[in-house]
Structure 1
Amino acid sequence: MRGRRRRPVGQDCIQPGANPLHQHQTNHQVPEREKQRTEIQVESNVVVAVRVRPLTEDEHNRGDETIVYCPDQHSLLVGASGQERAFAFDVVLGPESSQHAMFQECGMTRLIDMAVQGFCCTVFAFGQTGSGKTYTITGPHSLFLEGSHDALLAGLMQRSLSYLLQLVGQSEEGFHLYASYLEIYNEQVHDLLNPCLPYSLAVRGSRTQGFYVENLSVVEFHNLDSFMRILEGGMQNRQSSSHSQNEHSSRSHSILTVHIKGMSTQGKLCVVDLAGSERVREGDSIEELLEETGNINRSLLTLGKCISSLVDPIKRNGHIPYRDSKLTKLLSDSLGGSGITLMIACVSPTLGNLQETLNTLRYSSRAKRIKNRPMVKRDLREKLVVSLQREICRLRQENLLLQQHLSSAHKAGAGGSGLEAKYSGSMSSSPQHAKDVAGIRTGSSCSETSLRSLLQELMRENDKLQ
């Protein structure tokens, strides 16, 4: 029987209920329910990349036949004896692809750039057990053994955080980075940064936040070393076991979320490592293994139903079964929601895995047709500043138009000279007003009070001119 490994909470770990993101908002008196979103007017398709793993040593020794071929960077052929099936994807990486090539070709830098701007960005790997998902996301298991520091084997997670820290370090805006790490095992949510909790965590939903995990621990980090400590601790607490397909098979879905808190935006980068789909084979009679496999396959089946509904023109505007599993609840923003999503399908190249490979590729082909509507998350303060600036700009244009009408009336001898002189006197007697008008053009650096004051002054002038 496999028990949960326990790891003490690190010194940097913030206890449940003390989320620093919520604290930061409270300090500025901007409650979470008042968060607003600014929408981009274009839809964005889910990007799908496929990675074919190389043959293992055992497969080489058995002389297993390879049935997956990569003619170019966008197409894939599966089959043998002249009965190949063709598939097309955004990116295709063959067995010889390196971890660095995976990071570059999949467009991870663009995804991270968007997260820094305030978007919710997600990358997740899926496929059958032993197809290379965890290797792609975090690198091989040996990378987390004591004394192992092979940077060439680092996965998307480490490379993404390295790039993110570099990006944030070069920015003049003060960013704060926080991380949370959870797993869904047998439909129970566990905090990988605080596994000593005797209970599973609840997944809640709200109109403003969407679905979220209640009381999930959050850790602030400042450099790659502190992040790696978070990652290594979480990896050690994940459910895994030896399997015929994989010596270190992940038996749970894991979601690492990096919150990127800026002055006015709050972006998110989610890295998801799904448990592998598999068939229960003859001899797999251990009750725990059957329960694990059943729960994994049920949650993946629900994910497949959500994808099918999202690409169906009729069902898309109806009911999407997100609530049927905890996994689909937490991925709802990434699939058909307001996020930007990259899916990485990992496949095995051998004939013995043909059926699972075809299932994964069909799954991926449907996912490629999902459309999201990306939105930046802004807080109410920033939205109010933008609204005040827009109103000030409108009033300035209206005042200018009224001045032109007064000037025309004066030139026509219509008796408007007295009123115009009065207006000119009021303008010339207010040099501070001119400074404020010039200052507002510098952007959102002006305080909310200054904007309100200028808006009221322009409204009074507007009334006088009218």
Structure 2
Amino acid sequence: QQEEITELRRQNALLHLRLAQALQSAQSSREEVSSISSLQHKQAVNTQRNNQHLAETQSELQHVREELEVLSNDVVSMFHNLQHSCTEQLQDVQRKVELVETTNKTNDALLLQINELQAALEQSQSSHLREKSRRRELHNNLVEIRGNIRVHCRLRPCFSSEAVFPDSISSSSDVSEKDVVVYCNDDELISVDSDLKPSKKFEFERVYDQSTNQREIFDELQPILTSFLDGYNACIVAYGQTGSGKTQTMLGNPQDPGIVSNAMNELFRLIEEKPCDSVSLEVSVAEVYNNDIYDLLAEDPKRSKHDIVTTRGSGREVPTLTQINVSCAEDVETLMRIGLNRRAQISTNVHEHSSRSHLIVTVSATVCQQDTRPPSSDSEQRTPRKRPFASSPNLTSDDIINPTSPVAMAATYKTKLQLVDLAGSECVGMSGVTGPALRESSFINRSLSSLADVLASISERRSHIPYRNSKLTHLLQDSIGGDAKMLIILCVSPTRRFITETMQTLQFGSRARQVQRGPPRKRGSSPHTTPRGESP
């Protein structure tokens, strides 16, 4: 029994052990079941969420399908509409292409007509220019035969100080359209507008507008220099009120030279083209100041006055003036600088550098024309003859020469070119001058009045011409009433402020055009040389 009890105890212990293991296994199983249950719960929740999300997704998908179907219908409709629109536009483009082709054909025809009309217009313009040139040539020939004084007119640009009606839009000192009353109608006509009367028109041989430069003006005058070297006396005068651009026209500046500088350059160029002739030039620079003549090339110009004498040939000269031989244009520039530094000038209300004297630059040319043609017969060799210009009062019996000698092969003559920059006429009330300047203005206006009186006397063919009323007219007598080719350049302002002075200047030019002095006389020519073109 003890053994059975022991065995039972052992089996009971084993059972307890197995029970403990079973309990432990059951606890572990319960924990696993609990864990599995928790996982199943979570999975069920997730499944429910997924099902809900899937339902929402399916709902959205259905909505998208419906929208897609609507969009598909819209696309189909748009495609049909686009196709229809494209078809209509294509048809419209085709119609426009046809219209463009028709228009191009019409344009080609019009272009052809335009080209034909353009060619006809160019031909007409060319013919017009030729006829105009021919008319001017005939007019100048008539002027040449009559001995008329040729008159050109230059309209200078506006200055801001001349404003009478300031422009409210721009600066108060700018010149407005109301201020401008003088206009260039074409290259021969200039008009002056006035509030009280109709526009007044003046016709001259040439009219230069504000855009005309110095070189273009000189090109119009250049043939006078050819005539000068061919044996004609010549004179170019700048006339106008103070500040109208006379000195700028005649003298210019180093950057934009005037007539004097351009004339000297042209003279030396022409001399180089006369290889068979010997030409020497002498230059004098004088001023007529307060009706007295002063030599601006002298050491002390104001120390002595100079008188005008009448030469054996009834010409007017000032023999005491300094005459300097020049060989190039630079020599003349040097002399001009010396003379201009000594010229009288002051500042007035109208012009900052107002000239108080008449400047006269005289270029004297001595031309020796060579003729190397041998005598044509023995009788000509045996018979002395005179030179072609032997009738000139400047010649003596020494002009009768033997043609077989070397001297007989040369003809010598002298000509004179006067380049005159007149002092400007001025209104004393406008210029504001007093004292000595007032006296200068009086002499200037008096001498210009004398010039107008001389021209009027010549035009009316009076028996007495008052040249001696002024030293200016007396000094220019050979050019004004003699046989020289004379050109007057009128310089005028375009503004209303100076309309009175402008009208006086233009009327002076109109009177000057009426002067008939007879044809100019040529002082010498080579009997076998074709004369060159003369001044227009």
Task: Give the shorter-chain TM-score range.
Answer: 0.5 to 0.7
Query: Distance in 2 between the 1:310 and 1:171 partners?
Result: 37
Q: CA deviation at 1:220?
A: 0.7
Residues 1:90 and 2:238 aligned together:
no
**Residue identity (%):** 32
Aligned partner of 2:187 among 73, 76, 80: 73
- Verify: 1:118 aligned to 2:231, yes or no: yes
* Structure number with bigger Rg: 2
Structure 2 residue 492 is matched with structure 1 residue 347: yes
Q: Does 1:58 align with 2:206?
A: no
The one-letter code matched in structure 2 to 1:109 is Q
Q: Secondary structure at the match of 1:208?
A: coil
> What does 1:137-286 correspond to in 2, within 5 Å?
137-139=250-252, 143=253, 149-150=254-255, 153-172=256-275, 173-197=277-301, 198-263=303-368, 264-281=412-429, 284=432, 286=434
Q: Give the total of aligned pairs.
A: 329
Which structure carries more helix by proportion? 2
**2:293–2:307: 8 Å Cα contact kept in structure 1?**
yes
1:195 Cα shift?
A: 4.4
CA, structure 1 residues 177+357, in 2 after alignment: closer, same or farther (shift >3 Å)? same
Give the Cα separation in 1 of the matches to 2:355 and 2:486.
22
Distance in 2, matches of 1:176 and 1:44, equals 28
Q: Which residue of 1 is the match for residue 444 of structure 2?
A: 296
Distance 1:278 1:342, change over 3 A: same
Query: Partner of 2:522 in structure 1?
Result: 376
Residue 196 (structure 1) shift: 1.0
Distance 1:307-1:181 versus aligned 2 partners, 3 A rule: same
Q: 1:262 to 1:331 in 2, by over 3 A?
A: same
92 and 283 in structure 1: CA distance in 2 versus 1, 3 angstrom threshold: closer
Contact 2:240 2:424 in 1 (8 A): yes
2:148 paired residue among 32, 45, 54:
45
> Following TM superposition, by how much is the alpha carbon of 1:284 offset from its aligned partner in structure 2, in angstroms?
3.4
Q: Report the counterpart of residue 28 of structure 1 in structure 2.
A: none
2:386 maps to: none
| Whole-angstrom distance in 2 between the partners of 1:42 and 1:352 | 39
Q: 1:356 matched to which residue of 2?
A: 501
Residue 427 of structure 1 is matched in structure 2 by: none
SS of the residue 2:480 aligns to: coil
- With structure 2 as the length reference, what TM-score do the two structures score? 0.59
Match of 1:408 in 2: none
Equivalent position amino acid for 1:55 in 2 = C
Distance 1:249 1:255 in 2: 16
Q: CA RMSD in A?
A: 2.2
2:183 counterpart SS class: strand
4+ residue segments displaced more than 4 Å: none
Partners of 2:146 and 2:233 lie apart in 1 by 14
- Per-residue Cα deviation, 1:1-41 (whole angstroms, up to 9, x for no partner): xxxxxxxxxxxxxxxxxxxxxxxxxxxxxxxxxxxxxxxx9
**SS of residue matched to 1:108:** helix
> How far apart are the structure 2 equivalents of 1:262 and 1:194?
26
State the match for 2:29 in structure 1.
none
Unaligned segments of structure 2, at least 5 residues: 1-143, 164-172, 369-411, 530-536
Letter matched to residue 482 of structure 2: G
Q: Which has the higher contact order (CA 8 A, sep 6+)?
A: 1
Q: 247, 272, 276: which one pairs with 1:134?
A: 247
How far apart are residue 289 of structure 1 and its match?
1.2
Query: How far has the Cα of 1:62 moved from its partner?
Result: 4.6
Query: 1:191 and 1:336 mapped to 2: Cα distance?
Result: 24
Counterpart AA for 1:171: K
